[in-house]
Amino acid sequence: NLIPLALDSTRLKFEFSGNFSKPIAAATAKAALNRKTTRSFFSVFINGRSVRCEILKHPLDEVLQNRSLICQFCSVHLKIDETRIDVNVHPTKSSVIFLEKEAIIDEIRAYFEKVVNEIFGFAAKETDKNETQENLDENTSFSFSQARRKIRILAKSEYN
* pTM (two decimals): 0.67
Please report, for the chain, how many H helices and E strands are present, in that order.
Answer: 4, 9
Residues 87-135 pLDDT 10s: 666 566 567 788 888 999 999 999 999 999 998 887 755 445 455 445 4
- Assess contact for 71 and 40: CB atoms under 8 A: yes
Whether the per-residue pLDDT at 31 is higher than 70: the answer is no
Q: Which CATH number fits domain 2-124: 3.30.230.10, 3.10.180.10, 3.30.70.270, 3.40.50.720?
A: 3.30.230.10
HSE toward the beta carbon, residue 54, CA cutoff 13 A: 0
Q: For residue 50, count CB atoms less than 10 angstroms from its CB and return exposed for 0-12, middle for 13-18, buried for 19 or more.
A: exposed
CA distances from 33 to 66, 94, 114, 120 (A): 20, 32, 28, 22
Domain segments of the chain: what residues?
Answer: 2-124, 127-160
Strand partners, 111: none
The C-alpha atoms of residue 23 and residue 64 are separated, in whole angstroms, by 8
